[in-house]
Homo-oligomer: A and B are copies of this chain.
Amino acid sequence: MTRQPEMQIASRVVYQGRILNLRVDQVRLPNDQETFREVVEHAQAVAVVAVDEDRNIFLVRQYRYPVGKELLELPAGILEAKEEPLSGAQRELAEETGIMAGSWQYLFSIYSTPGFTDEQIHLFLARELHFTGQSLDEDEFIKVTKVPLEQVPEMIRRGEICDAKSIAGLLGAALYI
């Protein structure tokens, strides 16, 4: 039996909040020393690369309070309780951009920053798009932008797209289309 590399000895819940919880765990390392790990618990999330027939993609621009600026990102959001990733991706794309898609493909899943959080984001590719209307949460203020897929690499190089899931999803989608 393989020994767990870092064994939990104790766990203390520091905060239970709206989109995250924080706990601090005492763990035993492979060298038998003890240390502690700070873990931000976060629900699973989804993000969508929606491509139209002219190879445009749809990004959302919104103010991100933790970084103090507006960012250009893939449509994305947190899964609701017991929601399947595909359903969540369809819901978030519709809510944030008003887009419905006839074709959905799972790409891959990413850990946002596994040094301190369990947040995992499932990435999807959406095609055969048609448009209904945005329906945002009360505290969401989001502008939708259409960008030619071929401009994405230059936008990443210039720092205009600088969100990790969006870069991973956009460059990752190019492996599939």
Contacts and interface: CB of A to CB of B under 8 A. Distances in A.
Contacts of A18: 36, 38
A64 B115 contact: yes
Interface string A26-67: 010111010111111010000000000000000000011111
Contact count band on A: 35 or more
B17 A24 contact: yes
Most chain B beta-carbon contacts within 10 A, residue among A25, A110, A138, A163 = A110
Copies in the complex: 2
Given A19-B38, A20-B40, A141-B29, A159 B108 contact: yes
A149 interface: no
Main secondary structure of the interface of A (DSSP, over half): mixed
A120 interface: yes
A113 interface: yes
Contacts of A112: 112-113, 164
Interface stretch (A86-94, A95-103, A125-133, A167-175): A167-175
Contact of A66 (B19, B31, B67, B114): B114
A121 to B, nearest CB: 7
A71 B114 contact: yes
